[in-house]
Structure 1
Amino acid sequence: MSAPHTDVEEVELANTAFYEALERGDFDELTSLWLTPADLGVDEEYHDPADTGVVSCVHPGWPVLTGRGEVLRSYALIMAGTDYIQFFLTDVHVSVTGDTALVTCTENILSGGPAPEGGEELGPLVGQLVVATNVFRRTPDGWKLWAHHGSPVLAENDEDEDDETPA
């Protein structure tokens, strides 16, 4: 693949790197992809980076997490409790305005936990459908995540379809 030539391509690469770091369970890489207070010009000598609310995250079913420390802790917990996770992204749309970029996508997630009763294989694989919004900011080191919001897509109920009457 050739080097990116547009902001949209660079944001697409940053978005892909985020999901690939999650798939690999690479916490150090994931950490490097999130904005730091210094990226936004916050003087870390006077503000605790863990408490400075420069980033936010909403995982499906979780409350809003604000601040780099809270957000990164949440990913550490997810990685520690998930033996396998794979993201198939669809409906990816990137919009860039100045130094801010918005990515919307559908996360088709396949995951598995620890093996039942200490077996060597993964526990049952579970599929989940989530719509996500990722907000990036341009920094001297490239595009970094400012916010992530994931919301589950509720499955349609078969009974709802039976209740519909033709027009």
Structure 2
Amino acid sequence: MSAPHTDVEQVEAANTAFYEAMERGDFEELSSLWLTPSDLGVDETYHDPADTGVISCVHPGWPVLTGRGEVLRSYALIMANTDYIQFFLTDVHVSVTGDTAVVTCTENILSGGPAPEAGEELGPLVGQLVVATNVFRRTPDGWKIWSHHASPVMAENDEEDSDDTPS
């Protein structure tokens, strides 16, 4: 496969790398995918990093997390407490304007554990349907995540779908 050439392809590749790092439990890779103030040319010794490029994350059911410390700690906790996770992304849409890109998608998540050894059955899994928005910024090293916001999709109630109007 050749290297991506357009901004949209590069953002798609960065988005895919984010989810693949989660699936592998690769914290170092995941950390490298998030924006830092230095990615924007900000010297943190002279500028408050909160003023430039502060990252944020909302996991389903969690409060807003801001700053690299809080965000990366949350991923370390998730990885430490999740034996197995796999993302099947659908409805992926990428929009790029200048040095900012927005990716919206549906995360069809299978998680649980433990991960199977060769020839073993997979343990019990839990499925979750989540919609996500990932915001990226262009840096000298490529596109990096600025913000991730994920929210669960509520199951439709069969009673709400019934037609209560008289014929």
Q: Same fold (TM over 0.5)?
A: yes
Counterpart of 1:31? 31
**39-48 or 91-100: bigger deviation:** 39-48
| Residues 121 and 98 (structure 1), Cα distance of their counterparts in 2 relative to 1, 3 Å cut | same
1:86-130 CA-partner distances (Å, limit 9, x unpaired):
000000000000000000000000000459xxxx97652000000
Identity level (%): 88
| Residues 8 and 38 (structure 1), Cα distance of their counterparts in 2 relative to 1, 3 Å cut | same
Q: How does 1:25-104 map to 2 (within 5 A)?
A: 25-46=25-46, 54-104=54-104
Distance of 1:38 and 1:72 partners within structure 2: 17
In structure 1, runs of 5+ residues without a counterpart are none
Q: How many pairs does the alignment contain? A: 163
| Residues 128 and 164 (structure 1), Cα distance of their counterparts in 2 relative to 1, 3 Å cut | farther
Q: CA RMSD in A?
A: 2.4
Distance of 1:127 and 1:166 partners within structure 2: 37
- Paired AA for residue 104 in structure 1: T
In structure 2, runs of 5+ residues without a counterpart are none
Q: How does 1:1-167 map to 2 (within 5 A)?
A: 1-46=1-46, 54-114=54-114, 123-162=123-162, 164-165=164-165
- Paired AA for residue 93 in structure 1: H
SS in 2 for 1:76: helix
Q: Contact 2:36/2:53 (CA < 8 Å) preserved in 1?
A: no
